[in-house]
Each structure stands twice: as C-alpha cells, then as structure tokens.
A and B are shown apart, each in its own frame.
Chain A
C-alpha cells in the first residue's frame, strides 16, 4: 500500500441481510485528488461513503481513510474528515457566525483559531456584511458555498461531498467547483458524489458504481477512450444500462 494513498478500499462489502448494497469494491484515492464517485440512485454510493466516514461498519473487506482503519479507528477518521451532504446542513435559525463557531467548536478548535479563520473566510466569501444575519435569509447558492467552507473549516485531510450541488443553478455550480479546486490546491482530498456528468469531467479521476460494484475507474479521458464514448454522459449511460437493480 503506497503512502501516497489517502483512501484505500479492498474488497469492501456491505450487506443488509441478503442484499449486497456494496459488493466487493476495490479502489484507492491519492492525496490531494478530486475523486468523483458516480452511480445511479441505489447503486450503493451512499452506503460506500458512509462506511468510509465511519458511520457504518463494513460487512467484509478492508479500508483505511487517512491511514486509519474503518473498523477500529472511526473516531480518528472522524477527526480528519469533513462532510457535506445533499441535504443542506447549516442551521437556518443561527447566524453565519454562529454556524461557523458551532461547527468549529464541535471539532474542538481553539477560540483564537476560530476567530482568525472566521474573519478570513467571511472576507473570502464577501459575507462580512451578512455575518450576523440568519443563514435562513441567504439565497441557496450562498448557503451551499458557506456549507462547503464550514465543512473544511477545521482543515481536514479529506472532505466528503454527497451530491453537494443538487438544486443549484449552473453559475453557482461553477463557482462551487472553483472552491473545490481551491481546497484541492491546499492539499485537501475531495471525495465527491454527483449526478451531473459535466461535473464528472472536472474530477481528476472517477469511479462509476453499478449494482454495488465499481464498473469503471480512471480519469475522465481514459474512461471515454476505453468505452469509446464522446462524453461522460455516454460513458455513464453505457454502464448504467447494465444495471439490474431499480433505483430506490
């Protein structure tokens, strides 16, 4: 196992009764990489991601995240990852500043760190004027960007994004991806699930899951070449058509 890998998964499997939600998947993610995790609804993406986040214990196989074992060291994993889900996850009845303070607080960050970094972040997002406004009053695009900033506020090694751009307009999506690039530049590994094939093109490497298995793995260019497809859309459709499971 190379030390360059920040996530490794070998023969990772999760069964619910007889149902194999994740069926023997093997892949590695490099440090600082933007790794796209694709698949139709019900293909097992979320289950796989939950195992990597330490929310769910695998049935079989091995996996490490940031060098920690997903069976025994879930607490260490949790300290080193950030997470943002498709469900919007800031408190609407708290102000921007309070949201930041709260999330930084649960990662045990010092007051000095929080203060200094909050000022920097607000400036970056041009939200200084709104810092004491309730999050509920912000437009969705801003909320999403803020949620991402909060997810990496404690400077994790890896950030897991579960369909982060759902319901957001194309311009904001573009801006959101710029933020993802910036995060990757400072060395944060980005593990992102998405439904948008144009977003898949932005990733360094992607894996496509079908029926609980990883059916394709590689850079977008490699995948298109090997599948003889003109676009990621085509790659995805060719693979997804093989699915026998219906979406949940």
Chain B
C-alpha cells in the first residue's frame, strides 16, 4: 500500500508540475463545450433569404411577413425577376429564395391549391434542408389557419412533436459527444503518453527491477487521470446545465457511474497503446488518428450512424465512444434508466476487460 501511495503521489507531482498540460487538460472541456454549444451549432438562426413576389397579394404578403417575423429568417432582399435569383445566390449572402407565382391568392381561394417555390443554396446541404423545412412549416401554418374554418374534404395534417428536445437544440447532442471526446483525449492519450515516457526515459526499467508489481505501476498511473476525468465530467455537466440549459433528465448517479465505466474503458485503451509502442510520438499519433477521429466521426455525435454505408456502420460498433454516446444521451436527454441501456453498458464493460487483459498480457510478454 505504501508503495502504491508513493506511486500515486509521484504521478500527481508529474501532472501538477506540468502547468501547461494541466491547463489544457482542465481547460479543454470548457473550451469544447463553449465552442460546440455556441459557435458550432447546426441550428439555423436569422438566415438571410430573398423573396420574389410575383403576386403581391394578401396571401403572399401575409406569408412574407410571417417568414420575416420568425427567428429563423431575415428577408434581406426583394427580387423582381427570375434572373435575379441566380445573382442573389452568387453573391453568397442569400441562402433561400421564396418565389410566389402570379395569382397566388387567387389560386389558393379558387382552386384550393397554390404553389410556392423554395429555392435553396444546397452547396451546404444540411443548412439547405433545414431552411426548406422551416420555411415549409411556416407556410403550412399559414395554410392551416386560413383553411381552419373552411373544412376541406380530404387533407392530411402531419403534426410533429419533437420528443425529448422540443426546441431542437444542438447542444442536446453535443454535450454527450463532448463528454465522450474529452474522456477519450484525457484518459487514452495521456495515460499512453505518460507510460511511454517512462519507457523512453529508462525509469520504467528501474521500476521493473524493483519489487513493485507491474499491475500496481499501471493502476497507480491511472488513478490521477481517473480523478482528472471526474473533474472534467463535473465541469461539463455544470456548464451544460447552467450555461447551455441542457437538462439532466435521468439519474445523475447513473450518468456518473456510466461515465466512470467509460473512463475505465479509455484508460485501458491507453494502457494497450502504451504497451504496444515505445515512443511518445507514436503513442500520440495512434491516440489521435486511431481514436480521436473515429470518436468524432463514427460515434454518431457529428454524423448519424443510420445514414452511413454498411461497412462504416459495422466499424462504428468497434468505437467505444459510440456506446457511451448512446448511454449518455439516453440518460441525460431521454431520462431513461439502466433497463434501457444495459446492453450498451455490458458492451463497454466487455471492451474494458478485453483491453485490460490484452495489455497486461503484452506487458508480460515484454518481460519474458
């Protein structure tokens, strides 16, 4: 026990002495939450749009002013001919053009059907889709209001309810994603690097010649990073609740327990990397390209897994962050209990065990 404590104390000295690294480790989650929460949002607000109103009647003006009133759109220009549309897009400021045909109100009143054309700048397809959806729903709103008293024989109303995240806030997705990302970086990369550093410096050899058991060395290395991760998780949760207004709907205890589990997964991955490499650069390179990128790209946090081609979907099963992301989202946003996430939990636990056994075996082989 005394051996173990000397070890843990030493690890803390390493971390606390290296002010720059510590600042990065503790500051990174704050930065990421703020960046993802505020800047990198895929919500669309105050997009500049243009209107080509060939009708200029009651209906078109009404829709026009409703679009302008919504917080999604700002009407930045009024166009006068179809040729202007192309030009407006070329300038790059306009994201969407709404075109009303001549006789718009007339058509609506007499034929019960009228067409509005939405022309979107699809060079950014995500934004284009979102804008078209917003505009469509505003126009539909208008339509249902004017037809409210005049019941049509056959109409299908689709009523949408956005469960769990009624305001469609991006932060709801980002917070669990950032948690996965930060844990991955802090635990995996840092443990891998600090162990490999001891190999590079030759201190690992001295330790192996001492009576300390290798397992103790490894566990002692992991303890400070586990603690650091807990601090990071706390910061992220506090920031997301109080700054980004993302609620924690489920059990906080469960969320923290699952986060500890994921931390252990990432720590054991770090160990595995460190037992397979001999230089800090290699360890860093593997951590970044082998783990960071898959975490961002394949965990479902940036891009929905359902939309990926089959091979990528299969690979995504191997990314630990994917499972943690599922868990964190289920607990935090949907407020689900352990019953709903036991499968993911089991997978993470299994991965952790697998990585640990593998790295300890590798460690032993190196000694033989």
What is the interface of chain A, defined by CB distance below 8 A to chain B?
53-57, 75, 78-79, 81, 83-94, 98, 101-103, 105-108, 134, 151, 160
Please indicate the chain A residues that have their CB under 8 angstroms from the CB of B211 in the complex: 75, 78-79, 106-108
Complex contact B209–A106 (CB within 8 A): no
Given the interface contacts A75-B211, A91-B10, does A106 sit within 8 Å of B367 by beta carbon? no
The count of A-to-B residue pairs whose CB atoms sit within 8 angstroms is: 80
Chain B, 1-40, contact with A by CB distance < 8 Å: what is the 0/1 string?
A: 0110111011001100110000000000000000000000
A55 touches B10 (CB 8 A): no
A83, B203: Cα distance in complex, Å? 11
Measured CA separation A81–B210 after assembly (Å)? 8
B202 touching A88, Cβ below 8 Å: yes
Assess whether A94 is in contact with B209, with CB atoms less than 8 Å apart: no
Query: Which residues does chain A contribute within 8 Å of B205, judged by CB atoms?
Result: 55, 83, 85, 87, 89
* Contact indicator A108/B209 (Cβ below 8 Å): no
**Complex: A131 Cα to B203 Cα, angstroms:** 20
Partner of B206, one of A56, A57, A83: A83
Mark B187-216 against chain A: 1 for CB-CB distance below 8 A, else 0. 000000000000001110111111110000
**Contact yes or no, A105 B6, CB < 8 A:** yes
Q: List 12 A-B contacts (CB under 8 A).
A: A55-B205, A56-B368, A75-B211, A78-B209, A87-B202, A88-B201, A91-B203, A101-B6, A102-B6, A105-B7, A106-B7, A108-B3
Interchain CA distance A103-B211 in the complex, whole Å: 11
Given A57-B368, A106-B210, A107-B210; A89-B13 close (CB under 8 Å): no
Given contact pairs A53-B209, A55-B208, A56-B367, A93 touches B202 in the complex (Cβ within 8 A): no
Complex interface residues of chain B between 342 and 368 (CB less than 8 A to chain A): 367-368
A105 touches B5 (CB 8 A): yes
Dominant secondary structure of chain B at its interface with chain A = helix
Docked-complex contact A106 and B13, CB < 8 angstroms: no
State in angstroms the CA–CA spacing of A98 and B137 once bound together: 67
Known contacts A55-B367, A79-B211, A93-B14: A108-B201 contact under CB 8 Å: no
Other-chain contact of B202, A57, A85, A151, A160 (Cβ < 8 Å):
A85
Q: Are A89 and B201 in contact (CB under 8 A)?
A: yes
Instruction: Find chain A residues with CB under 8 A from B2 CB.
Output: 105, 108
Asked if A98 meets B209 with Cβ closer than 8 Å, knowing A56-B368, A89-B202, A105-B2, the reply is no
In-complex Cβ contact of A85 among B9, B13, B206, B212 (8 A): B206
